[in-house]
Amino acid sequence: MRLNDVTEGDCIQVLNDLEPGFADLVFADPPFNIGYQYDVYDDRRGKADYLAWTEKWLAAAVRALKPHGSFFLAIGDEFVAEHKVRLDALGLTMRNWIVWHYTFGVNCSKKFNRSHAHILYYVRDPKNYTFNPDAVRVPSARMTTYADRRANPVGKLPDDTWVLRPQESAAHFQPESDTWFVSRVCGTFKERVSHPCQMPEAVLDRIIRVASNAGDVVLDPFAGSGTTLAVAKKLGRQYLGVELSEQYADGVRKRLQMIDFAEKAETEGPRKRQPVESRRS
C-alpha cells in the first residue's frame, strides 16, 4: 500500500488486495446510479446489478476500517435506504443520518427541485471511536441571539441538518449563526475541477476534523475530483484514494501537487526584488 497517493483500479479489487484495518476514516461518495456522465463508468446500471456491486464495495471499504474507525457515506434519495440496510448488516453502528441541504439545487421539471443529499455517519465500535467535538463547534443561538448566560462559551456541536447556501463564504462559519453555510460546488467556483461530481472542501473539512486526528489514514474508495485527499493533505492526515478512471486519477495528482506548490509559496513568501547595480560608463 502506498499512502498519500491515488491508486488506479476497481476499488473492490484494490481494497481487498490490501491488508485489512488500515484506515481510521473512510469517506465514500459513490456513483448514485442516476445517469451522471463519467468517462469510464456506466451510471445507468440495473437496480439489482447496482445493489450487488454496492454490497461488494461496502464490504471491501468496511474491511479497510480499523477497529475504532469511522465511515461516512454520501448518497442520494434513490438508494440511501438500501445503503443503510447494508451498512447495518455489516455490523456498523449509525451515529447520524445527516441531511445536507443546499440552495442552488438541481433544477427539475416534473417534480420538486432537489436541494439535498444524505450523509450517513457510521462507526465500527460505538464505544471506541474518534470524535473531536471542539474541532467543529459553532456559536449557539443562546450566545448569538438570546444572550443566555447558560450558553456553553465554546459553542455547540452542529446539528445533523447542514444548510448550505451560495451567498455566504464557502470556507467559514458565520459568526452570528449556528448554521453551517457553504454551497455545493458550482461550475463557476474557483474550487471547481474537471469532474462531473465534486464535493465542497468545507464538507470534507468538517468530517475529517471531527472523525480523525493528525497523522491518521483517510481512505476514499471513489477519489473522483480528489476533494477528500486534498482536504486530508491540508489537515495533516495521511490519505489513500482509489479511482477507476486514469484521467480522473491524473487530475487528483495535479490537484495535490498544486497544494504543495501553494504551501511552498506561502512558506517562502514574496521574493524580494534584488537591486540592480547601476553601471556608469
Residue whose grid cell is 447542514: 162
pLDDT digits (tens, 9 = 90+) for 143-159: 778 888 888 888 889 88
**What's the angle, vertex CA 16, arms to CA 197 and CA 1, rounded to 5?**
80
The CA angle 232-77-162, to the nearest 5 degrees, is: 50
pTM of the full structure:
0.84
| Residues 113-142: tens digit of each pLDDT | 888 889 999 999 999 999 999 999 888 878
Burial class (CB in 10 A: 0-12, 13-18, 19+), 42: exposed
Q: Answer yes or no: are the C-beta atoms of 14 and 64 closer than 8 Å.
A: no
Which CATH number is associated with domain 5-266? 3.40.50.150
- In tens, the pLDDT along 15-64 reads 999 999 999 999 999 999 999 888 899 999 999 999 999 999 999 999 99
- The three-state secondary structure class of 264 is helix
C-alpha dihedral sign at 175, 178, 179, 182 = positive
Per-domain residue ranges of the chain? 5-266
Which residue matches cell numbers 448514485? 32
